[in-house]
Chain A
Amino acid sequence: MAAGTNTGDAAARRGETEKAVARFFSNRTAAAGLIVLGVIVIVTILPGLVTRFDPIGMDLPASLQAPSAEHPLGTDSFGRDVLSRVLHGGRVSLGVGLTARTISLILGLLAGTIAGYFGGRLDNFIMRLADITFAFPTLLLLIAIMAVVTPGMGALSVALGAVGWAAMARLVRAQILSIRGRDYVQAARAAGAGHLKLIVRYILPQCLSPLVVVFTLGLGMTIMAESSLSFLGLGIQPPHPSWGGMISRGIPFMRTAPWLTILPGLVLTLVICSINLVGDGLRDALDPRRLVPPKGGRK
């Protein structure tokens, strides 16, 4: 790492950020991913831009209409506009995904920092806890959690966030282990900085780049997990729309009204692909030497 960033010099850091942005946009696939994602995020936040239909109210006589000028993506078996449901469902998926990732980030940051910085028995304890979390297949663990609690957006976000903490914690710990012995940290400590100041001011900023990358890449996985749970009926509950739920409810109509399944599936694929492209682009841009340790790696 360049000495300028290590000392936290503002101007130098700004220069680094500009360089990273430039590197990101020179990566065409990443830029395309960001544009697609951006468009989807805007229309899901403001569905009124595209459709005027209520995603929940039923209109049974209008059920199972093929895509038309009035309903560009057709209607479902209750006569609800599929486009409107895809957009509102996206709001749920993206919202749950972001919330869950944020929860994971906070939990992981706390656990990883404590483990990495203080070390010793606490480190051992936290990391064994992480091992235990890793030992469970994520989706099975999620299914078990969601089968016990009352399903809904809040429960879903917390459950998805809770199972994602271990990967974050390992990453943060690994970063801190490699940073805490550095000369500038020693210098700061010698100058009388307390634990909190050392961590917040001198150590954590160094973890930022890999965290952003892992946060983004994990977002795709989290949205996928949310959709899987909703597909299984354990996530977002009807009548509220969610992509996974729409896909699972469309299956009986796969051959009579394929748009019910294909279109939400397509949007889901698009979103996850573009999130992954953005994540890859971020990794390349933020860390040209690819110093990010592999997921789950120690030291």
Chain B
Amino acid sequence: MIRRLLSIAVSLISALLIVSCGGGEVSPVLRLALQTEPTNLDPALAVDYSSGWVSSLIHSNVVRFEPDGSIAPDLARSWSVSADGLEYVFHVTGGMFSDGRPVTAIDVERSLTRLVDPSTASPRWWVLEPVAGASDFHAGRSGGCSIKARDDSTLVIRLGSPASHFLSLLAMPAAGIVSPAAADSLGRDYGRTPTGSGPWRLVSWTSGDEIVLERNPFSCEAAAGIPGINIRLIPESMTRIAEFEVGNLDILEIPPAELELWRSAGVRLLRSQELRIVYIGLNTEKAPFDDPRVRRALNMAVDIDLVIGRLLFGAAERATGVVPAGLRGSPLPGPLYRYDPEGAVRLLEEAGYPDGFTMEIWQRENPESGRILESMQGFLARAGIEVKLVTREWSAFKQAVDMGTPDAFYLDWFADYPEAGNFLVPLFHSESRGGGGNRAGFSDAAVDSILDAASAVSDPAARWELYAEAEGRVLEAAPWIFLWFPVRYEVVSHRLEGYEIPVIFNGQRFTGVSLR
């Protein structure tokens, strides 16, 4: 209440200020909002969404994602891959750090080596794990790995074994190229004052308030449209909406609850199916969830279509598979589990739980997940399962889930790079159990061997065949309650042109947009 009054007061005051300045001129910079504040803009240490997102605007990579998820040249204007798929040769030219120094292949070598270096302690070093010698280097058993600058403009990377998705890994925020000089002299402070060669450079970062970026004057990439980006930190969704409506933001994500309102207002909505799956993971190493019949029964006990319609207002597609439509080689299968409360009860009886049981579902603090889980609680109660919802702050939640403490947990997984394997392998390979992504502790030898075989196949169609087989087995085994793939809706201001919602979160760098 007080906050709302304050925000009204603040907006009144700022309105007065604008009037008194005699302005009325709309700012020429792009104005965006972030829900959470970045923690660290050092690519090697940026793990959360906001950090990776801002860091990607400031740093360029060897290659980058286009908004549609395809790979485009970035610092490397061209590259070649050896016939055995092990040696990548990149031609690095034209990049300029925001302090005016050119980016050489040596800088790229040092920056990428820094990511793997155990003294950097990067949680994202695994991005370069396919590089020959990287694991040994990271474990401290050797002094480097196979990332070498042959001369100022040629970078050679050798892999330990073929990895068809290696270019995608290089396009991830963690593989952003930092200025080695700045990184060395600043140490831990680099994350607050980064120097990259991306289209934008950091002007100021006021905690809890605003991050101001201006065009990197030395980069030719940002020459288009706009002189800068102001990113305001606005945690409250209603405040972001209000700011957009008074014309203070150029892009707004519409929360599902407001969709109908915006649709009926005749606003043109941008729609994009995210490369993200939302699920309730079941702890398959813990009774009663070690019994597939129980897990199937849970899938049958919840009416997911109804929840999508009524609680998400249609802003999701039901996850009848685990790989989202954009990354599939074949259409999504029909639902394996239909809403069937009686069937669920019968299956529970068969599994030896005629009177149901009590379970905990953990969630992180988030109003939307609360609403969804409350509905799950209602559905499962009808099947005789009493659900206790446990809410924890993100790091406590993640720690508990990685350790396998909760019976079940509500979580999502979004693609780091657009590949079916980036869903199936981390989520269901037994080697990724725990923090690797397979938090349900799912372990199936057949699925493991299919996934291993698939990652060695370079033909996309043949690889998809294998992935589809693994997906089918996973659906059958039901280590999760499979929920949905969210659909994202955004609306942009009248003055913004050329913007599209990126498929991968760091795929939009605002170099192709302009302001009228």
Residues of chain A touching chain B, judged by Cβ–Cβ distance below 8 Å, are 56-58, 60-61, 63, 77-79, 233, 237-239, 248-249, 251-256
Residues of chain B touching chain A, judged by Cβ–Cβ distance below 8 Å, are 237-238, 255, 257-258, 260-261, 303, 306-307, 310-311, 365, 367-368, 370-371, 374-375, 377-379, 389, 391
A237 & B375 in contact (Cβ 8 Å cutoff)? no
B365 & A256 in contact (Cβ 8 Å cutoff)? no
B371 & A77 in contact (Cβ 8 Å cutoff)? yes
- Docked complex Cα distance between A254 and B375 (Å): 20
Q: Which of A60, A77, A239, A256 contacts B306 (CB 8 A)?
A: A60
- Docked complex Cα distance between A116 and B367 (Å): 47
A282 to chain B, nearest CB (A): 27
A251 & B238 in contact (Cβ 8 Å cutoff)? yes
Q: Which of A57, A249, A254 contacts B378 (CB 8 A)?
A: A57
- Docked complex Cα distance between A200 and B244 (Å): 64
Given A77-B310, A252-B237, A252-B367, CB of A239 within 8 Å of CB of B377: yes
Given A254-B238, A256-B258, CB of A238 within 8 Å of CB of B375: no
- Docked complex Cα distance between A238 and B363 (Å): 13
A60 & B374 in contact (Cβ 8 Å cutoff)? no
Q: Which of B257, B310, B378, B389 contacts A253 (CB 8 A)?
A: B257
B420 to chain A, nearest CB (A): 32
Contacts of A238 in B (CB 8 A): 370, 374, 377, 389
- Docked complex Cα distance between A61 and B258 (Å): 18
What 7 pairs between A and B have smallest CB-CB spacing?
A58-B378, A252-B257, A60-B310, A238-B374, A63-B310, A60-B306, A253-B257
Given A60-B303, A77-B310, A239-B377, CB of A255 within 8 Å of CB of B371: no
- For residue B392, which residue of chain A has the nearest CB? A147
Contacts of B238 in A (CB 8 A): 251-252, 254
Could you list 17 examples of A-B contacts with CB < 8 Å? Answer: A57-B378, A58-B378, A60-B303, A60-B375, A61-B306, A77-B311, A78-B311, A233-B391, A238-B370, A238-B389, A239-B378, A251-B367, A255-B261, A256-B257, A256-B258, A256-B260, A256-B261
B308 to chain A, nearest CB (A): 11
A255 & B389 in contact (Cβ 8 Å cutoff)? no
- Docked complex Cα distance between A239 and B255 (Å): 22
Contacts of B260 in A (CB 8 A): 256
B389 & A249 in contact (Cβ 8 Å cutoff)? no
- For residue A57, which residue of chain B has the nearest CB? B378
Interchain Cβ contacts within 8 Å, total number = 56
Contacts of B311 in A (CB 8 A): 60, 63, 77-78
- Docked complex Cα distance between A248 and B3 (Å): 14
A255 & B375 in contact (Cβ 8 Å cutoff)? no
- For residue B393, which residue of chain A has the nearest CB? A147
- For residue B391, which residue of chain A has the nearest CB? A233
Q: Which of A56, A249, A255 contacts B258 (CB 8 A)?
A: A255
Contacts of B255 in A (CB 8 A): 252
- For residue B1, which residue of chain A has the nearest CB? A265
B375 & A249 in contact (Cβ 8 Å cutoff)? no
- Docked complex Cα distance between A60 and B304 (Å): 11
Contacts of B306 in A (CB 8 A): 60-61
Contacts of B367 in A (CB 8 A): 248-249, 251-252
Contacts of B237 in A (CB 8 A): 252
Q: Which of B257, B375, B389 contacts A58 (CB 8 A)?
A: B375
Contacts of A256 in B (CB 8 A): 257-258, 260-261
- Docked complex Cα distance between A77 and B375 (Å): 10
B273 to chain A, nearest CB (A): 22
Contacts of A77 in B (CB 8 A): 257, 310-311, 371
- Docked complex Cα distance between A79 and B391 (Å): 23
Q: Which of B303, B371, B377 contacts A249 (CB 8 A)?
A: B371
Contacts of A57 in B (CB 8 A): 378
Contacts of B370 in A (CB 8 A): 233, 238, 249
Contacts of B377 in A (CB 8 A): 238-239
- Docked complex Cα distance between A248 and B371 (Å): 11
Contacts of A253 in B (CB 8 A): 257
- Docked complex Cα distance between A57 and B238 (Å): 28
- For residue B396, which residue of chain A has the nearest CB? A147
- Docked complex Cα distance between A63 and B257 (Å): 12
Q: Which of B307, B365, B391 contacts A60 (CB 8 A)?
A: B307
A231 to chain B, nearest CB (A): 10
- Docked complex Cα distance between A286 and B371 (Å): 47
B389 & A78 in contact (Cβ 8 Å cutoff)? no
A78 & B374 in contact (Cβ 8 Å cutoff)? yes
A238 to chain B, nearest CB (A): 5
A233 & B257 in contact (Cβ 8 Å cutoff)? no
B258 & A78 in contact (Cβ 8 Å cutoff)? no
- Docked complex Cα distance between A44 and B391 (Å): 28
| 16 further interface pairs, Cβ-Cβ under 8 Å (given A78-B374, A238-B377) | A56-B378, A60-B310, A61-B306, A61-B310, A77-B311, A78-B375, A233-B370, A233-B391, A239-B378, A249-B370, A251-B238, A252-B257, A252-B368, A253-B257, A255-B258, A256-B257
